[in-house]
Amino acid sequence: MSFLARTMRTAAPRFIPRVAAIPSTSARGFSVSLRLREEQQPTSLDVLRDEEEMLRDAVRRFAEDVVAPKVREMDEKENMNPEIIKGLFEQGLMGIEVPSEFGGAESSFTSAIIAIEELAKIDPSVSVMCDVHNTLVCTIFNKYATEEQKKKYLPQLTSGKIGSFCLSEPASGSDAFALQTRAKKTDDGWVINGSKMWITNSNEAEIFLVFATVDPSLGYKGITCFVVEKEQGVQIAKKEEKLGIRASSTCTLSFDDVKIPLDQVIGEVGKGYKIAIEILNEGRVGIAAQMIGLAAGAFNKSVPYTYERKQFGKPVGTFQAMQVQFAEVATEIEAARLLTYNAARRKEEGKSFTKEAAMAKWYSSQVAQRASGAAIEWAGGVGFTRETGIEKYWRDSKIGAIYEGTSNIQLQTIAKFIEKEHNKQ
């Protein structure tokens, strides 16, 4: 049993009595009296449950002890070390929300966000592998798969097989539902033809969630989600050479007369668009977590160096101009973290979180770019070299404004909510 699974079984949630206000019979109209009510007290956004705190400590140790020594080599070779993948599974980090009966930790969505954040402080490439596998792939199985599909695939996804989410195509990026991959029904199954582009985890994955249309004339109502196993004919047409997150595989996939059984439809035929829309909201919170972890990682690597390097007889970090920059970036990272945690908690509470997810992703990606860029400058010439690893954070940060919904798409989403709230005509 993984450390995370053991932790989820032994840790108890923290409950705090709440002091609630009730009307008073006093003559003063606005006066209130207080009475004690035994229910959970509202807390600050960064207050975590006991098991979430334990998870953060465990992931931090794993990232620092196991991932950190391999980061530079993986980046330069543009390949994920198999021992890292093995470690993610052994630590229970590849089925965080999956029920224990299927080998998962049965923990909270916020726990997944915490793990993604902590991994990103050391290597955003490892973080996004964990992110996509948890917030997109495993969540789709959790929410939309049949019991038979869950029994078949979730134990594989929690024990050793990587999952991949296949939506984007050469002609459908931000316009995700313009996809052209076709699925034709036959007497004994489905035949899939088409290609997918920019697919994360695809080089290592063995289980693919593929979105295809069963009838182009139906528009988005023809889009359906299928589970396809690698051995059923998924082909890697091209592995991309990228600016950042190089150890994370991003590939173009080909599906040439790929035959799958009838029971490999996830959800209902024609409901794939609904699955994609709902699941990408969760994925965007995951990307926000990756970006705040990245920003914190760059900050934590660069700032200590400024107190070691001296100019004009004193540490450069003690100069007022530097201190002002530290304060600004630290505040931005904290603000991004609170936006992200708020979106995660709203999701757990069953509240709408589409706007909050968009805000978190957009702002966190902006902060990641600013923080990592500033971190290079704070370290001076050393920060520009690959030896320190600081410049890698900046390279990795650019993708945050692009994948799982570009910054413009996030801003458009936020603006629609603003218009709905304020436009009364």
The SS3 call for residue 108 is coil
Question: What is the rounded distance in angstroms from the CA atom of residue 166 to the CA atom of residue 179?
Answer: 11
Q: What is the DSSP letter of 302?
A: H
Residue keyed to tokens 């708020």:
342
Residue keyed to tokens 């609630």:
20
Question: What is the rounded distance in angstroms from the CA atom of residue 388 to the CA atom of residue 121?
Answer: 14
Report CA-CA distances (Å) from 273 to 55, 180, 268, 354: 33, 13, 11, 16
Q: What is the DSSP letter of 172?
A: B
Phi, psi of 110 (to 5 degrees): -60, -35
Phi, psi of 43 (to 5 degrees): -130, 175
Residues belonging to the active site:
404
Residue keyed to tokens 């002890």:
65
Report CA-CA distances (Å) from 210 to 122, 146, 193, 402: 30, 17, 11, 20
Q: What is the DSSP letter of 201?
A: T
The SS3 call for residue 198 is strand
Task: Check: CB of residue 83 under 8 Å from CB of residue 89.
Answer: no
Phi, psi of 370 (to 5 degrees): -65, -45
CA angle (161 as vertex; 76, 119 as ends), nearest 5: 50
